[in-house]
Amino acid sequence: MPTLFHPYRLGDLALPNRVVMAPMTRVRAAAGGLATPSMAAYYAQRASAGLIVSEGVQPSLIGQSNPGTPGLHTDDQVAAWRPVTDAVHTNGGRIFAQIMHGGRVSHPDTTGMRPVGPSAVSAVGEVFTPTGPQPAPAPRALDTDEVPEHALAYAAAARRAVDAGFDGVELHGANGYLISQFLSSNANLRTDRYGGSIANRIRFAVEAASATVDAVGAARTGIRLSPGGGFWGVEEDDTPELYAALLAELARLQPAYIHLEATADEEVLVGLRRAWPGTFVVNPSVPMGPKQTGRAEADRWLDLGADLISFGRAFIANPDLVERLRTGVPLAPVDEDTFYQGGDRGYLTYPAYQYTA
Ligand SMILES: Cc1cc2nc3c(=O)[nH]c(=O)nc-3n(C[C@H](O)[C@H](O)[C@H](O)COP(=O)(O)O)c2cc1C
C-alpha cells in the first residue's frame, strides 16, 4: 500500500511524494494582477510538495473574483510569473496554475465590469471588493454565443501558464465559481444547450477542459470539483448523477487528474473514485471547515483509493509540511488573520521546524 511518501508518476512529471499543496488565494499580487518576488519566495519555500497548485489565477479581467489576485491574461502577467516558476523549479518542485473564473462571484468595483454568470442570479453572501465586503451583485446572464469565449479563456490562460513556466494547470471547477455555477441547478436557469438537463449543465465544464487539453495537452490539465459543495449559494439537485456524467465525459479527455474536495458523502466520493480511471486527488476536508487536513485524514483517503492528497491550511503554516509529516513532528497552527492580508507577515514568516539537539 503506497504511503504519502511514495513517488508518483503524474503525466510527464515524477512526483517525489503524494503530498499536494492545495490552491489557496492569498491576495498578495501587485497592481495589474502581477506576481511578486514575495510570491516566488512563498512557493519556493513549499517546493518539497509533490505538486504545488497555485492560488486561483484569473483567465480574464472579468473573471477576477477578488481584488489583489494574479492573472494570466496579459504579457506582463506571464513575465511576472516566470521568476515564481523558476524559483519553484530551482528548489526541486513542480507547480500547476489554478485557473479560476469567478463568474458571478465578483464585483464592478473590482473589475470595472458587471460580472457575468450562467443566469442573472446573484451569489449568496458578500463578495470582496477594494473597499471591503459588499453584497454580491446580480450578474449579467451570458448569451448563448458568448459562452464559448469564456470556456476558451481557460485554454488561453493555460497556454500563457505554460509560457510562464508552469508544469500544467488546474481548472477551478469547484467552490461556486463559474464552472461550478454552470453545474448548479439554481445558479444555472438556462434553457439553451448550457442549462436544464445534466448533459447541458456539464457542457461548459467539458468545453473548458477540452479546449485546455487541446491547448496544452491532457498531461498538463487537471480539474478541481466540489460535488454538492453549496458555496456562494450554488445547489445541485442531483449531485451523484451530475458528477457521474461529468466524470464520464472528462474521462474521454484523459486529463492528468481530477481533484475532489470532500464536500459530498463519503459514499458518493468513493463511488466517483471507482468510476474515475485516472489520477484521483482528494482534499479530505471542506474549505473553511473547522478541521484542517492532517496526516490521519490523508492516510484514510489513501486507504479509500486516492492517489494524491492535497493539504491547504497546513501548508500555509508549515512550509516544510512534507518533512514534518514524514518525521511526525508537530504542525504549526495557522493564523487566519493573515490568510488574505499582512504582506509578508503570515506569508513568508512561518519557519521550518526547529530541531534541537
Ligand atoms: C486562505 C485560503 C484560500 C483558498 N483559496 C482557494 C483557491 O484559490 N482555490 C481553491 O480551489 N480553493 C481554495 N481554498 C480551499 C483550499 O484549497 C482547501 O480546499 C481548504 O483549505 C480545505 O483544505 P485544508 O483542510 O487542508 O485546509 C482556500 C483555502 C484557504 C484557507
Write down the pTM of the prediction. Answer: 0.98
Low-confidence ranges of the chain (pLDDT < 50): none
**Which residue, among 195, 176, 166, has the nearest Cα to 103 in the 3D structure?**
176
Residue 236 is classified by DSSP as -
Most informative mutation of 25, 26, 64, 106 for ligand 1 (most atoms within 8 A of CB): 25
pLDDT in the model for residue 288: 79
Q: Is the CB of 23 under 6 A from ligand 1?
A: yes
Shortest-distance Cα residue to atom 15 of ligand 1 = 287
Pairing of β 51-57 and β 19-21: parallel
- 124 burial type by CB count under 10 A (0-12 exposed, 13-18 middle, 19+ buried): middle
Provide the phi-psi class of 170: left if phi over 0, else alpha when psi is between -120 and 50, else beta.
beta
Q: What is the CA radius of gyration of the chain?
A: 19
pLDDT in the model for residue 317: 98
Q: Has 350 been annotated as catalytic?
A: no
Compute the distance between CA of residue 299 and CA of residue 25 in angstroms, rounded to an integer.
26
pLDDT in the model for residue 138: 97
Query: Which cell is 277 given?
Result: 480511471
Q: What is the pLDDT of residues 202-232, one digit of tens each?
A: 999 999 999 999 999 999 999 999 999 999 9
Shortest-distance Cα residue to atom 19 of ligand 1 = 287
Shortest-distance Cα residue to atom 6 of ligand 1 = 24
pLDDT in the model for residue 356: 82
Return the SS3 of 351: coil
| CATH number corresponding to 8-338 | 3.20.20.70
Query: Which cell is 216 given?
Result: 496544452
Name the packing angle between helices 203-216 and 147-163 (round to 10°): 30
Q: Is the CB of 22 under 6 A from ligand 1?
A: yes
Catalytic residue among 177, 194, 243, 257: 177
Domain ranges of the chain: 8-338
| Ligand 1: nearest atom to the Cα of 175 | 11
Contact 314/4 with Cβ under 8 angstroms?
no
**Which residue, among 185, 189, 156, 173, has the nearest Cα to 250 in the 3D structure?**
173
| Ligand 1: nearest atom to the Cα of 339 | 1
Shortest-distance Cα residue to atom 28 of ligand 1 = 24
